[in-house]
A and B are shown apart, each in its own frame.
Chain A
Amino acid sequence: MVRVAVGVKRVIDYAVKIRVKPDGSGVVKDSVKHSMNPFCEIAVEEAVRLKEKKIAKEIVAFTIGPKQSAETLRTALAMGCDRGVHVNVDQAQLDALTPLQISKMAAKIAETEAADLLLMGKLAIDGDYGQTAAMTAAILDWPQATNLYSLQHNGDSATVEREIDGGLETNEIKTPAVLSVDLRINQPRYATLPNIMKAKKKKVKAVKPADLGVDVAPTLNVIKVAEPPVRAAGEIVEDVDTLISKLKDAGRI
């Protein structure tokens, strides 16, 4: 049976209306509802199902974030993960971290926790990078399969279906591997009240980025954050000739 590590991230809740700070330095986060990244929930669900199928013997959930990320970890534990690892960085540091730095930490955790499978969401809805899973696999020199629609674990290998633009692509990859999940692979269970209570007793290990050998000094400088331009009204034209001349005037053709 394998040990699964699953990464979870605390992000602004998907239903919140995002507001840009007046100084353009970022988005408003204070007093704004945060939740587990929806794709991370799906990854946790997939991990818990592996345990229910008796393929996984233990699930370790890990997160990188400020002390509020402990709530996100507790949700993962309430959904069925066995224990947690919390890499402590403050909110400002977290906002400045790049997928490369995150991947280095994730790779180290996979090693120190002796994981046979590393699961994560295909992307986080705040950064929208979608790079972490692939980078982590490269650092670990493990096979990777991203944007999973289905996962079948076969011991030394796994058969996966990936959602690609053209449809579904079926791959067989060797394990251990890094896998990232897409929206339709499963529907996550609720963290029930009884399980939330039980999760309080599950162990969470506190770790610093330095313990993982990763430097969190910013390598990326965000110059400006702005709302996308307001969508302008369209224009209805009389006939095709007018359409063509307008497109030419706008430099489109």
Chain B
Amino acid sequence: MLRSVRKGAKYQRALSASSPIFPGSGLNEDQLVWQDAAQKWGAAELGPFSAEWDAKCHYPIDVIKSSAEQGFLGLYTSEDVGGMGLSRLETSIVVEALSEHCVPTTAMMTIHNMVSWMIDVNGTPEQREEYCPRLTSGEIIGSYCLTEPGSGSDASALATTCVRDGDDYVLNGSKCFISGAGVHDLYAVMVRTDPATKGPKGISCVLIPKDTPGLSFGADETKMGWKSHPTKVLIMENCRVPVSNLLGVEGKGFNIAMSGLNGGRVNIASCSLGGAQKAMLAAKEHLGVRKAFGKTLDSQQYLQYKMAELATQLVTSRLMVRHAAAAIDQKDPAAASLCAMAKLHATDNCSEVANGCLQMFGGYGYLKDYPCEQIVRDLRVHSILEGANEVMRLIISRQLLSE
């Protein structure tokens, strides 16, 4: 609406429904309404500031918190604890629309959403009441802590110890690459409660509030992209939390972590879709304006065909992501491998789309004044985190070849 234009959002022609990259394709009335609401908010509150946040490494936590009243901080969390109770498909549609305006901020919001859901589904009634309403309202923001300096893809080899001492657990170890670390209020940390059991079954999930004694944070990492939010090492030195902070039961932590990640993978893949869409729209506009050899670039057959290829990569990614999201909703037994497929396909393809669009701009594409270089930098990590794309292949092949 005019609000977004008046707030300084870049005025952009709406795509018609005949466009092959129209994001509303195949969506019902309700889904289009969610998409539209997310588009409007993202265009006004994220879009005009994304480049500045990236340049200044500024974390817009206030904007993230303000998104709570839009329902964006508990999209698939239950309504009785303040969430929207949307399906994963509806969530994907909202996330994709938001990420078109700022990939890293939207990605951070999805991590928070994942933590909120994990507690919603696995928490005791007391834990749900204690944390979920505050998470969905934005009063507290959550982070997800699985990776350690010694274990990334080999996640179940994690070494952080968690020893029972009376009514407390005492934690020792460190986590790395934690988004939001140091700023966020609640950390969902995967720890080893049973030192005798080396693999997943010895792992539990513990909730640690920010100011817990023994919890500290390393320096802010300097990253290629996702520059607007902090990424730090999380250090636990005889960090003591009450046993009531155990999420679920001992030994179930890995399952909780992995079930969270199915949705997390759809979320990150959805963020890739938005970034690629923005790049495509920018490239499309540029091709209609920039002239070479006496005519606009969009008269050149090679570029026409290249755009067709990039569009096809984008739309196949979108379809795979929505299919995986629907699979979670329908409790499809293949959901985990479909989510892995969606994450693998969308993150890699959307990075190629962003890179291809950057090339369309020629030298200008290399400049920060144009949107593509930030999108390329922001999307690069999507092929790495929430399960590296190599691990996605492991998940898919294991299921595929086991029967």
Contacts and interface: CB of A to CB of B under 8 A. Distances in A.
A190 B70 contact: yes
B13 A17 contact: yes
A183 B2 contact: yes
A14 B2 contact: yes
Nearest to A68: B29
Contacts of B37: 190-193, 196
B276 to A, nearest CB: 21
A71 B14 contact: no
Interface in B66-101: 69-72, 84, 86, 94
Interface in B1-56: 1-3, 6-7, 11-14, 16-18, 29, 33-34, 36-37, 40-41
A16 B69 CA distance: 28
A190 B67 CA distance: 11
Interface residues of B, number: 26
B231 to A, nearest CB: 29
Given A15-B11, A192-B71, A71 B16 contact: no
B12 A15 contact: yes
Contacts of A221: none
Contacts of A197: 84
A116 B40 CA distance: 32
Contact of A41 (B1, B14, B94): B1
Contact of A32 (B2, B17, B71): B17
B3 A13 contact: no
B71 A193 contact: yes
A22 interface: no
B14 A13 contact: yes
A193 B14 contact: no
A38 B2 contact: yes
Interface in A62-81: 71, 74
A71 B1 contact: no
Contact of A190 (B13, B41, B86): B41
Given A15-B11, A32-B16, A190-B40, A196 B33 contact: yes
Contacts of A16: 13-14, 16
Nearest to A74: B33
Contacts of A26: none
A112 interface: no
B1 A35 contact: yes
B3 A188 contact: yes
A246 interface: no
Nearest to A197: B84
A194 B69 contact: yes
Interface string A41-59: 1000000000000000000
Interface centre among B3, B11, B71 (most CB of A within 10 A): B3
A74 B6 CA distance: 24
Given A16-B16, A32-B17, A194 B3 contact: no
Interface of B: 1-3, 6-7, 11-14, 16-18, 29, 33-34, 36-37, 40-41, 69-72, 84, 86, 94
28 contacts: A13-B14, A15-B12, A16-B13, A16-B14, A16-B16, A17-B14, A17-B16, A32-B17, A33-B17, A35-B36, A38-B1, A38-B2, A41-B2, A41-B3, A74-B33, A187-B7, A188-B3, A190-B3, A190-B37, A190-B40, A190-B41, A191-B37, A192-B70, A192-B71, A193-B71, A193-B84, A193-B94, A194-B71
